[in-house]
Amino acid sequence: MTGTVDTDLHPGVDVVCLGESMVTFLPSLPGRLADVPSFARTIGGAESNVACALAAAGHTVTWVSRVGADGFGDHLVDAIAAYGVDTSGVRRDPDRPTGIYFRTATDRATDAHEVAYYRAGSAASAMAPGSLSYDDLWAGRVLHVSGITAALSDDCLALMRELTTRAPGRPLLSFDVNHRPGLWRDGSGARVLLELARGADLVFVGEDEAAEAWGLHGGDAIRAALPEPATLVVKRGSAGATVYERGAAGAGATVDGGANGGVGSGPDGGANGGVGSGPDGGADTVTSVPALRVDVVAPVGAGDAFAAGFLSATLRGLPAAARLRHGHLMAAATLTVPGDLGAPPSRADADRLVDLDDAAWGTLRLGPGWTAATEQEVRTP
């Protein structure tokens, strides 16, 4: 399987997303969890976030999971379905509860950030090989999963190992590493996530999590450790993102953030360079796109939104730089709202912004409410 989507094998659903979603409680005020007087109920889960964003962007999406036969499970299924996601692949568990969590309003990267998970023994942790139908899992052009599922239980890990084993007829497998050290009680997470990523066709990983989990610094080092996926997307935070693609036209070249290609530079202003090679010796095309300037409200869910934007553009057959720009725009939609999910821009508005030249792209600044703005109101030159 290459990094492109096979429309002949899976002509119906665009994307199937597999993973746990939880009812999320957002604080009414900043401060410690001990001091917050009340919380607003919403939903959160890496894979369901991707599903909802893709559905809101006009794609056909199915979410496959397990939830409890309880009120929180009802809320999750109803809320995710309200985005236009097909939830017929969700199983109800009469014996295990739906997971929930509480978090503070502060940035996850700061010491002040608190998250209290109540997911041990959840319905989703009972997902296992044989418990889910491959008619559901392989129904789409893309199957999107993340490393979080593998950390939930031994059964979930066995399922993830099965899904990341290459097999005839498997749809393009998209894997977001999502390293969460707190979920891996035995310290095996880094090794397991690298193993799973090697079985995927498309991998998303942040530079920061690759450094923390694997001791790898920079996109070229990450690619050297992950030569198997046809497409590797390295998220570089405020510096932007880089995609390594094996077998793409012009393989062995480095291109810039312009949606139509060109000669590019890295975050230090020098040549981005670094030509990778896969296990068959094929060279990579390496494309980098700088991040947008965003007035951030909350950072949670931005990585999931980026993956959704990139996948959306992949399904449309757009070039690498355009896929990265769509990822940045979808991330900006989530960064400018307090919850895990932001309303994406219309496809027409997103395409208009993606088509800007490099100079105009670099001047964009997006704040709360930007996706609802008219073409004249979004700040472009």
Q: Do β-strands 284-289 and 231-235 pair in parallel, antiparallel, or remain unpaired? A: unpaired
Q: Tell me the C-alpha to C-alpha distance, in Å, between residue 364 and each of 36, 156, 288.
A: 35, 42, 17
Task: Please give the backbone phi and psi of residue 342, each rounded to the nearest 5 degrees, phi first.
Answer: -115, 150
The answer to whether residues 190 and 209 touch, using CB atoms and an 8 Å cutoff, is: no
Helix, strand, or coil (residue 8) = coil
Extract the tokens encoding 248.
Answer: 């793409």
**Residue 234 to residue 101: CA distance in whole angstroms:** 28
Q: Can 304 be counted among the known catalytic residues? A: yes
Q: Tell me the C-alpha to C-alpha distance, in Å, between residue 15 and each of 58, 89, 116, 142, 270.
A: 11, 13, 30, 5, 37
In sequence order, what are the beta bridge partners of 92?
Answer: 67
Q: Tell me the C-alpha to C-alpha distance, in Å, between residue 127 and each of 116, 180, 332.
A: 22, 19, 32
The answer to whether residues 274 and 254 touch, using CB atoms and an 8 Å cutoff, is: yes
DSSP 190-228: HHHHHHHHTT-SEEEEEHHHHHHHH---SHHHHHHH--S
Extract the tokens encoding 81.
Answer: 């379905």
Catalytically annotated residue among 304, 340, 349, 351: 304
**Residue 380 to residue 359: CA distance in whole angstroms:** 10
Which are the catalytic amino acids?
304
